[in-house]
A and B are shown apart, each in its own frame.
Chain A
Amino acid sequence: MGIVKTAKLIYDYIRYDENEKEETFRAIDGVDLEVEPGQFIAVLGHNGSGKSTLAKHLNALLVPSEGTVWLDNMDTRDDSHIWDIRQEAGMVFQNPDNQIVASVVEEDVGFGPENLGVETPEIWKRVAKSLEGVGMTAYRKHSPNKLSGGQKQRVAIAGVVAMQPKCIILDEPTAMLDPNGRKEVLKVVHELNREEKVTVILITHYMEEVTDADYVYVMDHGKVVMKGTPREIFSQVETLKAYRLDVPQVTLLAHELKESGVDVPDGVLTTGELVDALCRLN
Protein backbone atom coordinates (compact mmCIF):
# COMPACT_ATOMS: atom_id res chain seq x y z
CA MET A 1 0.00 0.00 0.00
CA GLY A 2 1.16 3.55 -0.77
CA ILE A 3 2.17 6.10 1.81
CA VAL A 4 -1.09 7.99 1.43
CA LYS A 5 -4.27 6.28 0.45
CA THR A 6 -7.88 7.32 0.60
CA ALA A 7 -10.82 5.11 -0.21
CA LYS A 8 -14.26 6.52 -1.01
CA LEU A 9 -13.52 9.54 1.12
CA ILE A 10 -16.55 11.69 1.87
CA TYR A 11 -16.66 14.75 4.08
CA ASP A 12 -19.71 16.78 5.06
CA TYR A 13 -19.36 20.19 6.68
CA ILE A 14 -22.22 20.98 9.03
CA ARG A 15 -23.53 24.51 8.61
CA TYR A 16 -26.37 26.33 10.27
CA ASP A 17 -28.69 28.52 8.24
CA GLU A 18 -30.49 31.64 9.55
CA ASN A 19 -33.10 29.55 11.37
CA GLU A 20 -30.35 27.62 13.11
CA LYS A 21 -31.35 24.62 11.10
CA GLU A 22 -28.59 22.18 10.49
CA GLU A 23 -27.63 21.51 6.92
CA THR A 24 -24.76 19.52 5.56
CA PHE A 25 -22.50 20.51 2.73
CA ARG A 26 -20.56 17.82 0.94
CA ALA A 27 -17.08 19.24 0.42
CA ILE A 28 -15.43 15.92 -0.52
CA ASP A 29 -17.42 13.41 -2.48
CA GLY A 30 -15.91 9.99 -2.95
CA VAL A 31 -12.22 10.67 -3.47
CA ASP A 32 -9.81 7.79 -4.08
CA LEU A 33 -6.18 8.72 -3.89
CA GLU A 34 -3.07 6.60 -3.89
CA VAL A 35 0.40 8.03 -3.46
CA GLU A 36 3.60 6.00 -3.57
CA PRO A 37 6.60 6.93 -1.38
CA GLY A 38 8.88 9.48 -3.01
CA GLN A 39 6.32 10.71 -5.51
CA PHE A 40 5.61 14.34 -6.29
CA ILE A 41 1.86 14.69 -6.56
CA ALA A 42 -0.06 17.79 -7.53
CA VAL A 43 -3.69 18.49 -6.76
CA LEU A 44 -5.37 21.14 -8.89
CA GLY A 45 -8.76 22.70 -8.56
CA HIS A 46 -10.73 25.89 -8.69
CA ASN A 47 -11.69 27.81 -5.51
CA GLY A 48 -13.98 25.81 -3.30
CA SER A 49 -13.34 22.52 -5.05
CA GLY A 50 -12.39 20.87 -1.77
CA LYS A 51 -8.60 20.85 -1.98
CA SER A 52 -7.96 22.20 1.52
CA THR A 53 -10.55 19.91 3.00
CA LEU A 54 -8.78 16.97 1.38
CA ALA A 55 -5.40 18.17 2.65
CA LYS A 56 -6.67 18.42 6.21
CA HIS A 57 -7.74 14.79 6.04
CA LEU A 58 -4.24 13.61 5.24
CA ASN A 59 -2.86 14.51 8.65
CA ALA A 60 -5.97 13.94 10.69
CA LEU A 61 -6.92 17.59 11.20
CA LEU A 62 -10.26 16.38 9.87
CA VAL A 63 -11.57 12.84 9.94
CA PRO A 64 -13.77 11.41 7.20
CA SER A 65 -17.57 11.43 7.41
CA GLU A 66 -17.46 8.25 5.35
CA GLY A 67 -14.68 6.24 3.79
CA THR A 68 -11.14 5.89 5.09
CA VAL A 69 -7.79 7.65 4.94
CA TRP A 70 -4.58 5.76 5.62
CA LEU A 71 -1.29 7.42 6.18
CA ASP A 72 1.61 4.98 6.11
CA ASN A 73 -0.88 2.21 6.94
CA MET A 74 -2.36 4.09 9.89
CA ASP A 75 -6.06 4.86 9.82
CA THR A 76 -6.50 8.58 10.59
CA ARG A 77 -9.58 7.78 12.61
CA ASP A 78 -7.45 5.85 15.08
CA ASP A 79 -6.78 8.32 17.91
CA SER A 80 -3.83 6.38 19.26
CA HIS A 81 -1.78 7.18 16.15
CA ILE A 82 -2.76 10.80 15.74
CA TRP A 83 0.67 12.24 16.70
CA ASP A 84 2.53 9.68 14.62
CA ILE A 85 0.40 10.64 11.66
CA ARG A 86 1.01 14.34 12.16
CA GLN A 87 4.74 13.77 12.54
CA GLU A 88 4.91 11.70 9.35
CA ALA A 89 2.70 14.00 7.30
CA GLY A 90 3.85 17.58 7.68
CA MET A 91 1.61 20.38 6.52
CA VAL A 92 2.42 23.82 5.12
CA PHE A 93 -0.42 26.30 4.87
CA GLN A 94 -1.22 29.20 2.61
CA ASN A 95 -0.73 32.19 4.88
CA PRO A 96 2.90 32.38 5.98
CA ASP A 97 2.19 34.70 8.91
CA ASN A 98 -0.44 32.53 10.49
CA GLN A 99 1.69 29.42 10.82
CA ILE A 100 4.86 30.79 12.38
CA VAL A 101 4.63 30.47 16.14
CA ALA A 102 7.85 31.86 17.57
CA SER A 103 9.41 35.32 17.33
CA VAL A 104 12.81 34.02 16.23
CA VAL A 105 13.30 31.96 13.08
CA GLU A 106 15.35 29.18 14.68
CA GLU A 107 12.93 28.84 17.58
CA ASP A 108 10.06 28.43 15.18
CA VAL A 109 11.86 25.64 13.36
CA GLY A 110 12.47 24.00 16.74
CA PHE A 111 8.79 24.16 17.68
CA GLY A 112 7.81 20.88 16.02
CA PRO A 113 10.70 18.81 17.45
CA GLU A 114 9.99 20.31 20.89
CA ASN A 115 6.43 19.07 20.64
CA LEU A 116 7.68 15.62 19.67
CA GLY A 117 9.86 15.49 22.78
CA VAL A 118 13.16 15.38 20.90
CA GLU A 119 16.24 15.87 23.10
CA THR A 120 17.77 19.38 23.14
CA PRO A 121 21.07 18.65 21.28
CA GLU A 122 19.19 16.74 18.61
CA ILE A 123 16.76 19.68 18.19
CA TRP A 124 19.71 21.97 17.49
CA LYS A 125 21.07 19.56 14.91
CA ARG A 126 17.74 19.25 13.16
CA VAL A 127 17.15 23.01 13.18
CA ALA A 128 20.56 23.66 11.64
CA LYS A 129 20.04 21.02 8.98
CA SER A 130 16.50 22.11 8.06
CA LEU A 131 17.44 25.76 7.80
CA GLU A 132 20.39 24.78 5.65
CA GLY A 133 18.06 22.76 3.43
CA VAL A 134 15.80 25.71 2.69
CA GLY A 135 18.68 28.18 2.44
CA MET A 136 17.68 30.25 5.45
CA THR A 137 20.66 29.66 7.72
CA ALA A 138 21.72 33.31 7.46
CA TYR A 139 18.39 34.37 8.96
CA ARG A 140 18.25 32.01 11.91
CA LYS A 141 18.39 34.73 14.55
CA HIS A 142 15.98 37.07 12.72
CA SER A 143 12.42 37.90 13.55
CA PRO A 144 9.96 36.31 11.10
CA ASN A 145 8.18 39.66 10.79
CA LYS A 146 11.08 41.11 8.86
CA LEU A 147 11.22 38.38 6.20
CA SER A 148 9.66 38.37 2.74
CA GLY A 149 6.70 36.10 2.01
CA GLY A 150 8.85 33.55 0.22
CA GLN A 151 11.35 33.49 3.07
CA LYS A 152 8.59 33.03 5.64
CA GLN A 153 7.21 30.13 3.65
CA ARG A 154 10.69 28.57 3.52
CA VAL A 155 10.91 28.91 7.30
CA ALA A 156 7.54 27.19 7.56
CA ILE A 157 8.84 24.39 5.35
CA ALA A 158 11.98 24.08 7.51
CA GLY A 159 9.70 23.84 10.55
CA VAL A 160 8.00 20.85 8.99
CA VAL A 161 11.23 19.27 7.73
CA ALA A 162 12.70 19.40 11.26
CA MET A 163 10.00 16.93 12.30
CA GLN A 164 11.47 14.47 9.77
CA PRO A 165 8.23 13.70 7.98
CA LYS A 166 7.89 11.09 5.29
CA CYS A 167 5.44 13.21 3.42
CA ILE A 168 4.79 16.93 3.12
CA ILE A 169 1.44 18.38 2.16
CA LEU A 170 1.55 21.96 0.92
CA ASP A 171 -1.82 23.71 0.69
CA GLU A 172 -1.37 26.53 -1.84
CA PRO A 173 1.97 27.57 -0.32
CA THR A 174 2.57 30.13 -3.06
CA ALA A 175 -0.86 31.72 -3.29
CA MET A 176 0.15 34.82 -1.35
CA LEU A 177 3.62 35.23 -2.85
CA ASP A 178 5.09 37.28 -5.67
CA PRO A 179 6.62 35.44 -8.66
CA ASN A 180 10.09 35.40 -7.11
CA GLY A 181 8.87 34.06 -3.80
CA ARG A 182 6.91 31.44 -5.68
CA LYS A 183 10.03 30.26 -7.50
CA GLU A 184 12.09 30.11 -4.29
CA VAL A 185 9.49 27.99 -2.54
CA LEU A 186 8.96 25.59 -5.43
CA LYS A 187 12.70 25.11 -5.84
CA VAL A 188 13.03 24.14 -2.18
CA VAL A 189 10.11 21.73 -2.42
CA HIS A 190 11.53 20.04 -5.49
CA GLU A 191 14.93 19.70 -3.85
CA LEU A 192 13.36 18.06 -0.81
CA ASN A 193 11.59 15.62 -3.02
CA ARG A 194 14.65 14.83 -5.11
CA GLU A 195 17.36 14.77 -2.44
CA GLU A 196 15.60 13.70 0.73
CA LYS A 197 13.09 11.48 -1.06
CA VAL A 198 10.24 13.12 0.82
CA THR A 199 6.84 12.48 -0.70
CA VAL A 200 5.26 15.77 -1.74
CA ILE A 201 1.60 16.58 -2.22
CA LEU A 202 1.37 20.06 -3.67
CA ILE A 203 -2.02 21.71 -3.77
CA THR A 204 -2.24 24.68 -6.05
CA HIS A 205 -4.22 26.44 -8.66
CA TYR A 206 -1.21 27.65 -10.59
CA MET A 207 -0.89 25.27 -13.49
CA GLU A 208 2.76 26.18 -14.10
CA GLU A 209 3.63 24.63 -10.78
CA VAL A 210 2.46 21.15 -11.68
CA THR A 211 4.35 20.52 -14.92
CA ASP A 212 7.17 18.76 -13.03
CA ALA A 213 4.87 16.57 -10.94
CA ASP A 214 4.83 12.80 -11.29
CA TYR A 215 1.07 12.64 -11.20
CA VAL A 216 -1.75 15.19 -11.16
CA TYR A 217 -5.24 15.06 -9.72
CA VAL A 218 -7.81 17.65 -10.77
CA MET A 219 -10.69 18.29 -8.40
CA ASP A 220 -14.03 19.92 -8.92
CA HIS A 221 -16.99 20.08 -6.56
CA GLY A 222 -15.38 17.63 -4.17
CA LYS A 223 -14.70 14.98 -6.80
CA VAL A 224 -11.54 13.93 -8.61
CA VAL A 225 -12.49 14.69 -12.19
CA MET A 226 -9.18 14.10 -13.98
CA LYS A 227 -6.00 12.28 -13.11
CA GLY A 228 -2.83 11.42 -14.97
CA THR A 229 0.65 12.62 -15.77
CA PRO A 230 0.98 16.35 -16.44
CA ARG A 231 1.25 15.61 -20.14
CA GLU A 232 -1.95 13.60 -20.15
CA ILE A 233 -3.75 16.31 -18.23
CA PHE A 234 -2.51 19.20 -20.28
CA SER A 235 -3.37 17.58 -23.56
CA GLN A 236 -7.04 18.08 -22.63
CA VAL A 237 -7.14 21.84 -22.80
CA GLU A 238 -10.89 22.08 -23.41
CA THR A 239 -11.75 19.89 -20.43
CA LEU A 240 -9.46 21.90 -18.16
CA LYS A 241 -11.14 25.09 -19.27
CA ALA A 242 -14.49 23.59 -18.40
CA TYR A 243 -13.17 23.16 -14.82
CA ARG A 244 -12.18 26.83 -14.82
CA LEU A 245 -8.47 26.13 -14.75
CA ASP A 246 -5.99 28.19 -16.72
CA VAL A 247 -3.63 26.16 -18.84
CA PRO A 248 0.06 27.29 -18.93
CA GLN A 249 0.64 29.78 -21.71
CA VAL A 250 2.88 27.53 -23.84
CA THR A 251 0.42 24.68 -23.63
CA LEU A 252 -2.36 27.01 -24.64
CA LEU A 253 -0.35 28.40 -27.54
CA ALA A 254 0.49 24.90 -28.76
CA HIS A 255 -3.15 23.96 -28.44
CA GLU A 256 -4.31 26.98 -30.44
CA LEU A 257 -1.70 26.27 -33.11
CA LYS A 258 -2.89 22.71 -33.37
CA GLU A 259 -6.51 23.83 -33.59
CA SER A 260 -5.60 26.00 -36.55
CA GLY A 261 -3.92 23.17 -38.35
CA VAL A 262 -0.25 23.32 -37.34
CA ASP A 263 1.20 19.88 -36.64
CA VAL A 264 2.34 20.07 -33.00
CA PRO A 265 1.80 17.36 -30.37
CA ASP A 266 -0.77 17.54 -27.56
CA GLY A 267 0.19 18.45 -24.02
CA VAL A 268 3.25 20.59 -24.63
CA LEU A 269 4.63 21.56 -21.21
CA THR A 270 7.63 23.78 -21.80
CA THR A 271 8.70 26.52 -24.16
CA GLY A 272 11.65 24.33 -25.23
CA GLU A 273 9.34 21.52 -26.31
CA LEU A 274 7.24 23.86 -28.41
CA VAL A 275 10.33 25.35 -30.01
CA ASP A 276 11.58 21.85 -30.86
CA ALA A 277 8.23 20.83 -32.29
CA LEU A 278 8.01 23.98 -34.41
CA CYS A 279 11.57 23.61 -35.68
CA ARG A 280 10.87 20.07 -36.77
CA LEU A 281 8.04 21.29 -38.98
CA ASN A 282 10.24 22.47 -41.82
Chain B
Amino acid sequence: MLKDITIGQYYPADSAIHKLDPRVKIITTVIYIVSLFVTNDWIGYLAAFLFLAACIKVSKVPLSFILKGMKSIAFLLGITVVFNLIFTPGEEVLVTFWKITITEKGLEMAVRMAIRLSFLIVGTSLMTLTTTPNQLTNALERLMKPLSFMLPVHEIAMMMSIALRFIPILMEETDKIMKAQMARGADFETGNIIVRIKNMVPLLVPLFISAFRRANDLAMAMEARCYHGGAGRTQMKPLSYRGNDWVAYGVMWGYLAVCIVLRIVF
Protein backbone atom coordinates (compact mmCIF):
# COMPACT_ATOMS: atom_id res chain seq x y z
CA MET B 1 0.00 0.00 0.00
CA LEU B 2 2.88 2.36 0.72
CA LYS B 3 4.37 1.56 -2.63
CA ASP B 4 1.62 3.57 -4.30
CA ILE B 5 3.16 6.79 -3.07
CA THR B 6 5.55 8.05 -5.68
CA ILE B 7 7.74 11.02 -5.02
CA GLY B 8 9.05 13.04 -7.90
CA GLN B 9 7.12 10.98 -10.42
CA TYR B 10 8.62 10.84 -13.84
CA TYR B 11 6.67 10.20 -17.02
CA PRO B 12 9.08 8.79 -19.59
CA ALA B 13 8.40 10.06 -23.09
CA ASP B 14 10.38 11.27 -26.03
CA SER B 15 9.50 14.93 -26.29
CA ALA B 16 11.31 18.22 -26.83
CA ILE B 17 10.55 19.18 -23.23
CA HIS B 18 11.95 15.94 -21.84
CA LYS B 19 15.17 16.59 -23.71
CA LEU B 20 15.65 20.13 -22.41
CA ASP B 21 18.42 20.84 -19.95
CA PRO B 22 16.89 20.48 -16.45
CA ARG B 23 18.14 23.96 -15.53
CA VAL B 24 15.97 25.45 -18.25
CA LYS B 25 12.95 23.66 -16.86
CA ILE B 26 13.58 24.76 -13.29
CA ILE B 27 14.13 28.40 -14.24
CA THR B 28 11.13 28.44 -16.54
CA THR B 29 8.95 27.00 -13.81
CA VAL B 30 10.07 29.67 -11.38
CA ILE B 31 9.46 32.41 -13.93
CA TYR B 32 6.07 30.95 -14.70
CA ILE B 33 5.09 31.02 -11.02
CA VAL B 34 6.24 34.62 -10.78
CA SER B 35 4.21 35.49 -13.86
CA LEU B 36 1.08 34.04 -12.27
CA PHE B 37 1.38 36.56 -9.48
CA VAL B 38 2.37 39.43 -11.72
CA THR B 39 -0.80 39.20 -13.77
CA ASN B 40 -4.00 40.31 -12.13
CA ASP B 41 -6.49 40.44 -14.93
CA TRP B 42 -8.29 37.90 -17.00
CA ILE B 43 -6.35 38.37 -20.19
CA GLY B 44 -3.17 37.65 -18.24
CA TYR B 45 -4.64 34.41 -17.00
CA LEU B 46 -5.56 33.56 -20.54
CA ALA B 47 -1.93 34.06 -21.57
CA ALA B 48 -0.77 31.84 -18.69
CA PHE B 49 -3.30 29.22 -19.70
CA LEU B 50 -2.22 29.24 -23.32
CA PHE B 51 1.44 28.99 -22.38
CA LEU B 52 0.80 26.06 -20.06
CA ALA B 53 -1.45 24.30 -22.56
CA ALA B 54 1.21 24.64 -25.24
CA CYS B 55 3.86 23.20 -22.90
CA ILE B 56 1.66 20.24 -22.02
CA LYS B 57 0.97 19.60 -25.69
CA VAL B 58 4.67 19.62 -26.55
CA SER B 59 5.59 17.44 -23.54
CA LYS B 60 3.42 14.52 -24.75
CA VAL B 61 2.35 13.85 -21.15
CA PRO B 62 -1.35 12.92 -21.20
CA LEU B 63 -3.55 15.51 -19.52
CA SER B 64 -5.33 12.82 -17.52
CA PHE B 65 -2.00 11.80 -16.01
CA ILE B 66 -1.32 15.36 -14.87
CA LEU B 67 -4.79 15.79 -13.44
CA LYS B 68 -4.49 12.54 -11.51
CA GLY B 69 -1.57 14.06 -9.66
CA MET B 70 -3.74 17.05 -8.75
CA LYS B 71 -6.16 14.88 -6.83
CA SER B 72 -3.90 14.69 -3.81
CA ILE B 73 -3.72 18.48 -3.63
CA ALA B 74 -7.39 19.13 -4.39
CA PHE B 75 -8.14 19.26 -0.67
CA LEU B 76 -5.57 21.99 -0.07
CA LEU B 77 -6.86 23.88 -3.07
CA GLY B 78 -10.42 23.59 -1.74
CA ILE B 79 -9.50 25.00 1.66
CA THR B 80 -7.70 27.99 0.17
CA VAL B 81 -10.64 28.78 -2.07
CA VAL B 82 -13.15 28.52 0.77
CA PHE B 83 -11.06 30.74 3.03
CA ASN B 84 -10.74 33.38 0.34
CA LEU B 85 -14.43 33.14 -0.31
CA ILE B 86 -15.63 33.74 3.22
CA PHE B 87 -12.92 35.84 4.79
CA THR B 88 -12.50 38.55 2.17
CA PRO B 89 -14.21 41.73 3.34
CA GLY B 90 -15.97 43.82 0.72
CA GLU B 91 -18.76 46.30 0.09
CA GLU B 92 -21.12 44.42 -2.17
CA VAL B 93 -22.56 41.52 -0.28
CA LEU B 94 -23.78 38.72 -2.48
CA VAL B 95 -25.26 36.29 0.00
CA THR B 96 -25.50 36.12 3.77
CA PHE B 97 -26.39 33.03 5.65
CA TRP B 98 -25.74 32.02 9.24
CA LYS B 99 -23.20 34.75 10.06
CA ILE B 100 -21.24 34.06 6.88
CA THR B 101 -21.23 36.69 4.22
CA ILE B 102 -19.90 36.24 0.77
CA THR B 103 -18.89 39.41 -0.96
CA GLU B 104 -18.36 40.02 -4.60
CA LYS B 105 -14.72 40.75 -3.89
CA GLY B 106 -14.44 37.47 -2.01
CA LEU B 107 -15.82 35.55 -4.92
CA GLU B 108 -13.40 37.22 -7.28
CA MET B 109 -10.45 36.54 -4.99
CA ALA B 110 -11.46 32.90 -4.64
CA VAL B 111 -11.66 32.39 -8.37
CA ARG B 112 -8.31 34.11 -8.95
CA MET B 113 -6.70 32.02 -6.25
CA ALA B 114 -8.11 28.82 -7.69
CA ILE B 115 -6.78 29.71 -11.13
CA ARG B 116 -3.35 30.69 -9.86
CA LEU B 117 -2.93 27.66 -7.65
CA SER B 118 -4.07 25.14 -10.20
CA PHE B 119 -1.81 26.64 -12.88
CA LEU B 120 1.03 26.64 -10.38
CA ILE B 121 0.48 22.99 -9.47
CA VAL B 122 0.07 21.83 -13.05
CA GLY B 123 3.14 23.82 -14.09
CA THR B 124 5.36 22.39 -11.38
CA SER B 125 4.15 18.85 -11.91
CA LEU B 126 4.86 19.22 -15.60
CA MET B 127 8.44 19.95 -14.63
CA THR B 128 8.79 16.90 -12.35
CA LEU B 129 6.97 14.68 -14.83
CA THR B 130 9.41 15.50 -17.60
CA THR B 131 12.63 15.51 -15.56
CA THR B 132 14.22 12.56 -13.78
CA PRO B 133 14.97 13.12 -10.09
CA ASN B 134 18.66 12.75 -10.86
CA GLN B 135 18.58 15.49 -13.47
CA LEU B 136 16.72 17.69 -11.00
CA THR B 137 19.31 17.29 -8.26
CA ASN B 138 22.06 17.77 -10.80
CA ALA B 139 20.48 21.00 -12.00
CA LEU B 140 19.86 22.26 -8.48
CA GLU B 141 23.49 21.66 -7.65
CA ARG B 142 24.59 23.68 -10.65
CA LEU B 143 22.10 26.48 -10.08
CA MET B 144 22.98 26.81 -6.40
CA LYS B 145 26.71 26.81 -7.08
CA PRO B 146 27.04 30.58 -6.50
CA LEU B 147 25.77 29.94 -2.97
CA SER B 148 28.45 27.41 -2.17
CA PHE B 149 30.35 29.94 -0.04
CA MET B 150 27.53 29.80 2.50
CA LEU B 151 25.82 26.47 1.77
CA PRO B 152 27.27 22.97 1.35
CA VAL B 153 25.69 22.77 -2.09
CA HIS B 154 27.37 19.58 -3.29
CA GLU B 155 26.52 17.79 -0.07
CA ILE B 156 22.89 18.86 -0.21
CA ALA B 157 22.58 17.56 -3.76
CA MET B 158 24.29 14.29 -2.82
CA MET B 159 21.93 13.88 0.13
CA MET B 160 18.95 14.47 -2.10
CA SER B 161 20.02 11.92 -4.67
CA ILE B 162 20.79 9.32 -2.00
CA ALA B 163 17.41 9.97 -0.39
CA LEU B 164 15.77 9.41 -3.77
CA ARG B 165 17.59 6.13 -4.13
CA PHE B 166 16.67 4.87 -0.66
CA ILE B 167 13.07 6.05 -0.34
CA PRO B 168 11.69 3.10 -2.34
CA ILE B 169 13.91 0.67 -0.44
CA LEU B 170 12.73 1.98 2.92
CA MET B 171 9.12 1.99 1.75
CA GLU B 172 9.41 -1.65 0.82
CA GLU B 173 10.99 -2.37 4.15
CA THR B 174 8.17 -0.59 6.01
CA ASP B 175 5.71 -2.73 4.12
CA LYS B 176 7.61 -5.85 5.10
CA ILE B 177 7.83 -4.93 8.79
CA MET B 178 4.15 -3.99 8.81
CA LYS B 179 3.18 -7.32 7.33
CA ALA B 180 5.43 -9.20 9.74
CA GLN B 181 3.83 -7.40 12.68
CA MET B 182 0.34 -7.80 11.29
CA ALA B 183 0.96 -11.52 11.02
CA ARG B 184 1.65 -11.46 14.74
CA GLY B 185 -1.53 -9.59 15.57
CA ALA B 186 -0.52 -5.94 15.30
CA ASP B 187 -3.36 -3.70 14.18
CA PHE B 188 -2.65 -0.65 12.03
CA GLU B 189 -6.08 -0.15 10.58
CA THR B 190 -8.65 0.37 13.32
CA GLY B 191 -9.11 2.91 16.09
CA ASN B 192 -8.99 6.67 16.04
CA ILE B 193 -6.03 8.61 14.78
CA ILE B 194 -4.26 8.71 18.18
CA VAL B 195 -4.55 4.95 18.59
CA ARG B 196 -3.29 4.42 15.08
CA ILE B 197 -0.31 6.65 15.57
CA LYS B 198 0.49 4.83 18.81
CA ASN B 199 0.33 1.53 16.98
CA MET B 200 2.86 2.83 14.48
CA VAL B 201 5.58 3.31 17.10
CA PRO B 202 6.73 -0.32 17.15
CA LEU B 203 7.07 0.04 13.39
CA LEU B 204 9.38 3.00 13.61
CA VAL B 205 11.95 1.43 15.90
CA PRO B 206 13.05 -1.38 13.60
CA LEU B 207 12.80 0.96 10.64
CA PHE B 208 15.12 3.49 12.22
CA ILE B 209 17.60 0.84 13.25
CA SER B 210 17.69 -0.51 9.75
CA ALA B 211 17.99 2.95 8.21
CA PHE B 212 20.95 3.76 10.42
CA ARG B 213 22.62 0.47 9.55
CA ARG B 214 22.12 1.19 5.87
CA ALA B 215 23.48 4.70 6.26
CA ASN B 216 26.54 3.33 7.98
CA ASP B 217 27.13 0.70 5.29
CA LEU B 218 26.60 3.19 2.50
CA ALA B 219 28.99 5.73 4.00
CA MET B 220 31.64 3.04 4.19
CA ALA B 221 30.99 1.88 0.63
CA MET B 222 31.23 5.46 -0.63
CA GLU B 223 34.50 6.03 1.19
CA ALA B 224 35.84 2.77 -0.20
CA ARG B 225 35.06 4.15 -3.66
CA CYS B 226 37.15 7.24 -2.93
CA TYR B 227 34.27 9.62 -2.26
CA HIS B 228 35.65 12.66 -0.50
CA GLY B 229 33.21 15.47 -1.16
CA GLY B 230 32.80 17.62 -4.22
CA ALA B 231 36.39 18.84 -4.53
CA GLY B 232 38.29 17.38 -7.47
CA ARG B 233 35.25 15.45 -8.61
CA THR B 234 34.34 15.18 -12.28
CA GLN B 235 30.95 14.35 -13.70
CA MET B 236 29.84 11.53 -15.91
CA LYS B 237 26.90 13.54 -17.18
CA PRO B 238 27.83 17.21 -16.95
CA LEU B 239 25.09 19.65 -17.86
CA SER B 240 25.59 21.68 -20.99
CA TYR B 241 23.20 23.88 -22.94
CA ARG B 242 22.34 23.01 -26.52
CA GLY B 243 20.44 24.81 -29.25
CA ASN B 244 16.98 23.91 -28.05
CA ASP B 245 17.74 25.12 -24.55
CA TRP B 246 18.44 28.64 -25.83
CA VAL B 247 15.24 28.53 -27.85
CA ALA B 248 13.35 27.54 -24.70
CA TYR B 249 14.91 30.42 -22.77
CA GLY B 250 13.85 32.74 -25.58
CA VAL B 251 10.27 31.50 -25.44
CA MET B 252 10.27 31.93 -21.68
CA TRP B 253 11.47 35.54 -21.81
CA GLY B 254 8.98 36.23 -24.56
CA TYR B 255 6.19 34.92 -22.39
CA LEU B 256 7.32 36.97 -19.41
CA ALA B 257 7.47 40.09 -21.61
CA VAL B 258 3.91 39.47 -22.78
CA CYS B 259 2.76 39.14 -19.17
CA ILE B 260 4.43 42.40 -18.20
CA VAL B 261 3.07 44.25 -21.20
CA LEU B 262 -0.43 42.99 -20.47
CA ARG B 263 -0.10 44.14 -16.90
CA ILE B 264 0.97 47.64 -17.95
CA VAL B 265 -1.59 48.04 -20.72
CA PHE B 266 -4.66 46.83 -18.87
Contact = CB atoms under 8 A, between A and B. Distances in A.
Given A117-B234, A124-B236, A86 B224 contact: yes
A99 B223 CA distance: 10
A40 interface: no
A113 B234 CA distance: 8
B198 interface: no
B236 A116 contact: no
A113 B236 contact: yes
A159 B225 contact: yes
Interface string B158-200: 0001101100110000000000000000000000000000000
B253 interface: no
Contacts of A111: 222, 225, 227
Nearest to A84: B226
Contacts of A91: 221, 224
Contact of B236 (A90, A120, A160): A120
Nearest to B213: A98
Interface in B195-239: 213-214, 217-218, 220-228, 232-238
A162 B39 CA distance: 53
Contacts of B238: 120
Nearest to A144: B165
B133 interface: yes
A104 B134 contact: yes
A119 to B, nearest CB: 6
Contact of B161 (A86, A102, A119): A102
B233 A98 contact: no
B218 A99 contact: yes
Contact-size category for A: 35 or more
A61 B220 contact: yes
A61 B225 contact: no
Contact of A87 (B213, B214, B226, B233): B226
B164 A103 contact: yes
A1 interface: no
Given A123-B236, A127-B236, A145-B168, A98 B221 contact: yes
A163 interface: yes
A86 B234 contact: no
Interface string A122-133: 011001000000
A160 B220 contact: no
Nearest to B172: A145
B141 to A, nearest CB: 13
Contacts of A100: 165
Contacts of A90: 224-225
A114 interface: yes
Contact of B214 (A98, A104, A107, A113): A98
Contacts of A120: 234-238
Given A117-B232, A120-B236, A97 B227 contact: no
B222 A101 contact: yes
A163 B169 contact: no
A61 B224 contact: yes
Interface in A144-175: 144-145, 159-160, 163
Contacts of B233: 114-115, 117
Contacts of B232: 117
Nearest to B173: A97
B134 to A, nearest CB: 6
A234 interface: no
A99 B236 contact: no
B234 A119 contact: yes
B211 to A, nearest CB: 11
A59 B223 CA distance: 10
A25 B168 CA distance: 37
A61 B235 CA distance: 25
Given A98-B213, A119-B234, 9 more contacts: A61-B224, A83-B228, A97-B214, A100-B165, A106-B236, A107-B236, A111-B222, A120-B234, A163-B225
Interface of A: 56, 59, 61, 83, 86-87, 90-91, 93, 95, 97-104, 106-107, 110-120, 123-124, 127, 144-145, 159-160, 163
18 contacts: A59-B224, A61-B224, A90-B225, A91-B224, A93-B220, A97-B214, A98-B214, A103-B134, A103-B165, A110-B237, A113-B236, A114-B236, A115-B225, A115-B227, A116-B226, A117-B233, A120-B237, A145-B169
- Nearest 9 A-B pairs (CB), nearest first? A110-B236, A98-B217, A99-B221, A91-B224, A115-B226, A112-B225, A123-B236, A103-B165, A117-B232
